[in-house]
Amino acid sequence: MDVVVAGQLARDLVLLVDEVPEAGTSADARLRREMLGGKGANQAVALAQLGARPVLIAVRGDDRVGEELIEQARRDGIDVRYVACRESVPTGLIVEALDASGEWRYLQHLPEDVLLTEEDVDAAAPALRAADAVLVQLQQPGPAALAAARYGREGGALVVLDGELPARERDRLIALADVIRADEREASSLGAVSGPLIMIATSDGNVVRWKDGEEFIPLTDEKVVDTTGAGDALTAALTVGLLRGMSPIEAGHFAVAAAGATVGHVGGRPDLSGFKGFVAR
């Protein structure tokens, strides 16, 4: 199955501390991890680990960091031919400060220059039209997100939107979507949407709604170390499950299990190789 992801690529830097220090003080990090990250790249990694053939549409800078991330993405089995390289621009950076209780704080440098444009998406139109599914991160500018969804719909792909719907493109995106995935805050942009399958993350589980019903799926019982990346693993697994012909309930359980398999380690990079998941019966 060919799945195209339009979203963010960045270097993730994770620092594990006992406590986040107060202003004017410092703290030692017990662990430091640097990795390929950003929501787009994380979802592409998860898709590859679940057996899909992911293509990533994203933006990097022309620095050494960008080159290193591209090489890692290739090793992960991601097609990066549509990752645009911006001249004289640093690759995006996301810093996560994670404390011993699993609470995180992000500092990120994702300026406009490392966000997708319509032109970036247009360049990837052949891949989008040929895909079995298109995943669109709504943290990217609305026009670029809309273009990716539109090309996917033209090719008959399963169109999956992830995040908060931008006000200007909201109605047009909903009309193109088969699936919308959001957390409770992001779901405020949905209103009374009907039609697409909708999966909303809550504090104690996920609600799956589709035209014929609704199901609440509780969280798994894995010990939570870091929730970063759980939503990306969930979205990737939900997509793969639906492409494999699972029902909404089955795909929802499969997705929640993938998220549970991600929260047990530090950082947002998925670790789903060999993951079998759980399918409701």
Sequence-separated (6 or more) residues with CB below 8 Å from residue 93: 10, 11, 13, 65, 108, 109, 110
pLDDT reading at 239 higher than 80 = yes
pLDDT reading at 253 higher than 60 = yes
Backbone angles phi, psi at 161, to 5 degrees: -105, 140
How far apart CA 141 and CA 166 sit, in angstroms, is 8
Query: What does the angle CA 181 – CA 184 – CA 42 come to, to the nearest 5 degrees?
Result: 45
Q: How far is CA 163 from CA 64, 89, 140, 182, 258, in A?
A: 30, 26, 10, 5, 18
65 in helix, strand or coil?
helix
pTM confidence score: 0.92
**Amino acid letter, 120:** D
Q: Describe the strand order of the beta sheet including 197-202 as a list of residue ranges.
A: 83-86, 53-61, 2-6, 133-137, 158-162, 179-183, 197-202, 205-210, 213-218
List the alpha helices (DSSP H) in the chain. 39-49, 64-75, 118-123, 125-130, 142-154, 170-176, 230-243, 248-260
Q: Tens digit of pLDDT for each residue in 52-82?
A: 999 999 999 999 999 999 999 999 999 999 9
Tokens 């704080």 sit at which residue?
A: 105
Q: Tens digit of pLDDT for each residue in 114-136?
A: 999 999 999 999 999 999 999 99
How far apart CA 211 and CA 206 sit, in angstroms, is 17
Tokens of 133: 């599914």
Averaged pLDDT for residues 125-150: 98
List the alpha helices (DSSP H) in 91-131. 118-123, 125-130
Q: How far is CA 197 from CA 54, 162, 174, 208, in A?
A: 22, 12, 11, 7
Q: Tens digit of pLDDT for each residue in 13-32?
A: 999 998 888 889 988 999 99
C-beta neighbour count of 200 within 10 angstroms:
17
Report percent pLDDT > 70 for the chain.
98
Domain boundaries, the chain: 2-9+37-92+111-260
What's the pLDDT at 111?
Answer: 94
What's the pLDDT at 229?
Answer: 86
> pLDDT band for position 277 (50/70/90)?
low
What's the pLDDT at 51?
Answer: 94
Q: Which CATH superfamily does the domain covering 2-9+37-92+111-260 fall into?
A: Ribokinase (3.40.1190.20)
Q: Tens digit of pLDDT for each residue in 161-188?
A: 999 999 999 999 999 999 999 988 888 8
